[in-house]
Amino acid sequence: MTIQVGDRMPEGSFGIMTSDGPAAITTQELFSGKKVVLFAVPGAFTPTCSVKHLPGFKEQAEAIRAKGVDTVGCMSVNDVFVMDAWGRDQGVGDTVMMLADGNGEYTKAMGVELDASGFGMGARCQRFAVIIDDGVVSSLDIEGPGQFGVSSADAILEKL
């Protein structure tokens, strides 16, 4: 079942790249006592994700943080090395935390799976954006197939 507004975010962890190499961050560390904007993309280096979604959050990160957001995170069913390379390619630096859901476990826990096998991508995550207050979903916008709008940085900025 898909997570809903008012639900607590599932427990889990994401892969992140540190100066010492791959590491993990738990949802407790990421969400507890914080306001977080988490957006998800079907795949790193894919067209809409690379041209619109991630760049929008990179460009609006300062304005989003000015609304009281502690962390802006980008999640995808990709490994930590791909997420790190994509973040470097896009020049996100510290503006967006690149979160790898390598096996899609967190995607499944949220109930936002996407079967992209028709595109040769296998199991992925739907495109969405969620605002999380101290681990609880306060806003959730999931895009329809092939759509991009309600999960954009501009749309989330308006909700904050």
Q: What is the CATH number of the domain that holds 140?
A: 3.40.30.10
Q: How many domains does the chain have?
A: 1
Given a contact cutoff of 8 angstroms between Cβ atoms, the answer to whether 72 and 35 are in contact is: no
Q: Which two tokens stand for residue 29?
A: 């560390």
Check if 74 is active-site.
Answer: no
DSSP for residue 117: G
For residue 136, what are the contacts with CB-CB under 8 A and spacing of at least 6?
A: 6, 7, 8, 9
Number of H-type helices and E-type strands within the chain: 6, 9
Structure-token match 């507004």, residue found: 5
Q: Which residue has the higher pLDDT, 121 or 137?
A: 137
Q: pLDDT class for 47, splitting at 50, 70, 90?
A: confident
| Predicted structure pTM score | 0.94
User: Quick one: pLDDT at residue 146?
Assistant: 85
Q: Could you tell me if residue 23 is inside a domain?
A: yes
Catalytic residue (choose from 49, 69, 75, 114): 49
Q: Could you tell me if residue 2 is inside a domain?
A: no
Q: Could you tell me if residue 5 is inside a domain?
A: no
